[in-house]
Amino acid sequence: MSPIHAERVLAIGAGLSGLATARALSGRGLAVTVLEAKDRVAEPWRARHPALRLNIHRKFAGLPGQPAPRADGIYLKRDTVVRHLERYAAQLDAPIHFGTEVTEIVRVADGWQVTATTGVYRAAHIVIATGRESLPHIPDWPGRKTFEGELLHVGDLGDVSRFDGKRVLVVGAGNSGTDALNHLAAHRPKAVMVSVRNGPAIVPRSIFGYPIHGLARLFAALPVKVTDPAFKLTERLLLGDLRRHGLTSHPEGGSTRLLRDGVTFAIDDGFVAALKSGRFRIVPQIERLDGSRVVLNDGTSREVDVIIAATGYRTRLEPLLGHLGVLDENGRPIHAMGERDPDNPGLWFTGFKPIFTGFFDASGIAAKRIASGIEVDVAEASARRDNGGARARLVGRSSMRMRRPTAKDRRSPVARRITTNPHAGGSPARASKSRTEWMD
């Protein structure tokens, strides 16, 4: 029989989002337990390719109460991010149950029941912080099983130098695809083809040496009707007319895509130069795979050694929470960043909505919202309990008096009011004053 743990708050996921929320809660004196599927923190970061650097400015890579390390300059290296998270987790004043994967979440009368691989937990509040990139997604292209080359998701990129001398097809040029293309541009693959459905909103990493992301707060303060055309103009002025090289752009602007659709900007750091020089080529979308060839939807085909699918991730929330109607058509939470869901009290999400300043900064904003929301709920619940207790005590006392009224009791108007109507007298303070009078 699995143990049953009763908790006040459970945070599911010990990534930066779950840890930031746990810290905000424990900072307010609210007990929280973190459940983490893996055996240590930062596993998603460790699994990413070793040359990865954050594409956000260091000043936005801090976590609440812990600034980003300065050792790497402006863009943190992958291993620095790992150490940053390890240090954060080590200082957390809350237990983390590692090796505890949550497999089922159901609503119960007084909160939530969470079934995990190690037992069953009950809590009044649960914070879902399981990440946007839980499940790498590769489209089910016809003939996929016949493909003789290597087909991998960009999440498994590894060291890109291993693609030297190979014919590589990168599918998708969003944030991750462009990151892979930037790294490929610095190596020696035999050929690189890029297949895109809609081109990305792409910006250079820096303008005249100044890192663009340093201005993220400014972008966030401006309306999208200003930033959408401003980013298009920046792209055009600094990167040129990429349509001439076959790279189309999505009809919607980058800010709209980020804030409405959760699609992050692509950051150029070598890809565009390789495209313009003819080293990289844009090709049509894949129709099917056939042995060593990829057949494209213009009817042509290419010999390919490696396909890197930069085709996104799924959240894996559907099996856990789909039954509650809290997810959108992409399986992402509707209340994605610590907002209260009036239909599901005690259910909170963090880490599912990108913002200009990036996920580290977003984790702090969501953590604050969630911790203050839970604090209010806990205070209200405790006031309700106190009121209930005071009333119960009053009812208890009054019924005792009713059983054995004294002459003095009968003379007291306050006592009469209490014995006939336990709710009379209004506030608990008034009620207890009445009781004191009664006892005198």
Ligand X SMILES: Cc1cc2nc3c(=O)[nH]c(=O)nc-3n(C[C@H](O)[C@H](O)[C@H](O)COP(=O)(O)OP(=O)(O)OC[C@H]3O[C@@H](n4cnc5c(N)ncnc54)[C@H](O)[C@@H]3O)c2cc1C
Sign of the Cα pseudo-torsion (331, 336, 340, 345, in order):
positive
Which of 129, 263 has the CB closer to ligand X? 129
Cβ neighbour number for residue 238 with a 10 Å cutoff: 16
Helix (H, G, I), strand (E, B) or coil at 183: helix
Question: Which are the contacts of 301, defined by CB distance < 8 A and separation ≥ 6?
Answer: 290, 293, 294, 295
| Residue 21 sits in the site that holds ligand X (CB under 6 A) | no
Between residues 134 and 292, which has the closer beta carbon with respect to ligand X?
Answer: 134
Which one among 11, 24, 25, 54 touches ligand X, defined by CB under 6 A? 54
Query: Is the Cβ of residue 163 or residue 360 nearer to ligand X in the bound state?
Result: 360
From candidates 23, 132, 153, 401, binder to ligand X by CB under 6 A: 132
Stretch that binds ligand X, among 204-212, 357-365, 380-388, 416-424 (CB under 6 A): 357-365
In the list 7, 24, 36, 364, the residue contacting ligand X (rule: CB under 6 A) is 36
Q: Which residue, chain included where needed, has tokens 């300065």?
A: 70
Report, in angstroms and rounded to the nearest whole number, the Rg of the chain calculated over CA atoms: 29
> Binding marks (x or -) toward ligand X, 241..260, rule CB under 6 A?
--------------------
Rule CB under 6 A: is residue 37 a binding residue for ligand X?
yes
What is the phi-psi region of residue 150: left when phi exceeds 0, alpha when psi lies from -120 to 50, beta otherwise?
beta
For the chain, the maximum distance between any two Cα atoms, rounded to a whole number of angstroms, is: 104
44 binds ligand X (CB under 6 A): yes
- Cα gap 139→106, rounded to integer Å: 31
H-run or E-run covering 272: helix 271-276
Check binding of 428 to ligand X (CB under 6 A): no
Q: Could you tell me which stretch among 8-16, 210-218, 223-231, 425-433 binds ligand X (CB under 6 A)?
A: 8-16
- Report the residue number, 360 or 438, with the smaller CB distance to ligand X: 360
**Residues 6 or more apart in contact with residue 371 via CB below 8 angstroms:** 21, 24, 25, 27, 28, 30
Write b or e for each residue in 286-322: b if 16 or more Cβ atoms lie within 10 A of its Cβ, otherwise e: bbbbeeebbbbeeeebbebbbbbbbbbbebebeebbe
Report if residue 147 touches ligand X, rule: CB under 6 A: no
Q: What minimum distance in Å lies between the beta carbon of 149 and ligand X? A: 22
Does 348 help bind ligand X (rule: CB under 6 A)? Answer: no
The smaller minimum CB distance to ligand X, of residues 182 and 398, is found at 182
Whose structure tokens read 């799924």?
Answer: 314
Smaller CB separation from ligand X, 38 or 250:
38
Q: Which residue is nearest to ligand X (CB)?
A: 15
Q: Residues in the site for ligand X, rule: CB under 6 A?
A: 12-18, 35-38, 43-44, 48, 52, 54-56, 101-102, 129-134, 176, 351, 358-360
